[in-house]
Structure 1
């Protein structure tokens, strides 16, 4: 035990993120992250659940964006000659903090542009009635463009001096490279991704419920309007008949 504590700190070897153990950890991460969304859907009230197609369209965009960020971080981390795990962790934490702000700003900008051009199929979370795959595909492309912008900003931020010192001390206290890999590629990403997926999906679901409520109100008002017209015609007809009786 004392030998482990006194041993020189070790990090992940170059290429450790994509070896057999690293790929296995990433597969486990994908399964547990997707299970979070499935668990959330199972816990939703039946009357508030989105149809499977809408749910798939919503969650798949999150999955595509997360996969793009993940593999980009793996690629960038393998470029370093030092500990790639610590560089991956820095990338991931920046993506989950500063990156989310960049994504939010980009989504707002894109939404304004789409609204001005009246491209209804490119409004995030709206796929038409009935839902169209073309709308989902267009929104996926837009979301990937936003991910590229976000990753570019984070990469530029990492070029500032000082990050190398943080990278050197971030995970050096963990003597076991495989333990470090599990912590960086499974434990931390699962916790952060689970929270992000849950929050984002809740926001998307809230928007869907609002659209559904607005649509039901429109249907109700349109169905009630002929009744009012009929009643007014009956009243007018009765009044005219009553007037004619006096004549």
Structure 2
């Protein structure tokens, strides 16, 4: 989760703390559910493909690797389908991910959390189905990857359950936060006034909805009506 703290610190404009906590909590809870699902899928796959040589750590690694790569794509596609359906069905709470109302409402966050968990579990089922379909190649790949650690079960456990999740989850969280948060339209303009907008290193947020109206287009006809050249008398 520390990667989300760094991401919020670097983003411009920075999300309000309450909104960021809601965004981050969706990923935290979703990661916990995904972790439990990964373990269950790995155990089920070992029982389904048990040849006497497949170990659960290797299958967990394969499942986790697919989850943090192909799973992110599935999550984005499924979330897009949810928001599209919400707009057609006029489900306001699910139309814009990361928008929890003004003021922020827990009910909206809870509905978005439940939809996000549904997205994650659906992606898990798709990935699990793919693993079963390509089981022969994936089992051989998992056995080849973990062959050097065959006599070191503790090292294998640390690599699979600690090292890989930390690195791969960091990248996954960073990417998923980009489509789980609310999109904002703004321009970065030089700061010319004080006490207006959110200042960030000499810049403030400029909402396009607050922009002054554009002047009417310049035309030759309007110019001729206001310009009367002086012709000297002969």
Q: Give the corresponding residue for 1:39.
A: 6
Task: Provide the TM-score with structure 1 as the length reference.
Answer: 0.67
1:165, distance to aligned residue in structure 2 (A):
2.0
Judge conservation of contact 1:125–1:208 (CA < 8 Å) in 2.
Answer: no
Relative distance call for 1:67 and 1:209 in structure 2 (3 A) is farther
1:65 corresponding residue in structure 2: 30
User: What is aligned with 1:97?
Assistant: 69
Q: Name the SS for the 1:189 alignment partner.
A: helix
The 1:204/1:106 distance shift into structure 2, 3 A limit, reads closer
C-alpha distance 97-202 of structure 1, shift in aligned 2 (>3 A):
closer
Aligned to 2:158: 182
Which whole-Å CA distance do the structure 2 matches of 1:178 and 1:135 have between them?
43
Which one has a larger percent strand, Structure 1 or Structure 2?
2
* Pairing partner for 1:113 from 85, 90, 109: 85
Q: CA RMSD in A?
A: 2.6
With structure 2 as the length reference, what TM-score do the two structures score?
Answer: 0.70
**How many angstroms apart in 2 are the aligned matches of 1:193 and 1:150?**
16
SS at match of 1:85: helix
Q: Report the count of equivalent residues.
A: 186
Shift in Å, 1:203: 4.8
Question: Where does the alignment leave 5 or more consecutive residues of structure 2 unmatched?
Answer: 187-196, 198-203, 214-234
Give 1 or 2: higher helix fraction. 1
TM alignment of 1:8-157, pairs within 5 A: 34-44=1-11, 48-79=13-44, 80=46, 82-122=54-94, 123-157=96-130
Instruction: Name the CA distance, whole Å, in 1 between partners of 2:6 and 2:31.
Output: 18
Work out whether residues 99 and 181 of structure 2, in 8 Å CA contact, stay in contact via their aligned partners in 1: no
Q: Tell me if the contact between 2:72 and 2:176 (Cα under 8 Å) persists in the aligned partners.
A: no
Partner Cα separation in structure 1 for residue 178 and residue 72 of structure 2: 16
* Matching residue of 1:201: 177
Report deviation, 1:193.
1.1
1:128-173 Cα shifts (integer Å, max 9, x gaps): 1111111110011111111111011111111124132223222121
Bigger RCO (CA 8 Å, 6+ sep): 1
For residues 100 and 206 of structure 2, the distance between their equivalents in structure 1, rounded to whole angstroms, comes to: 14
Gaps of 5+ in 1: 1-33, 226-247
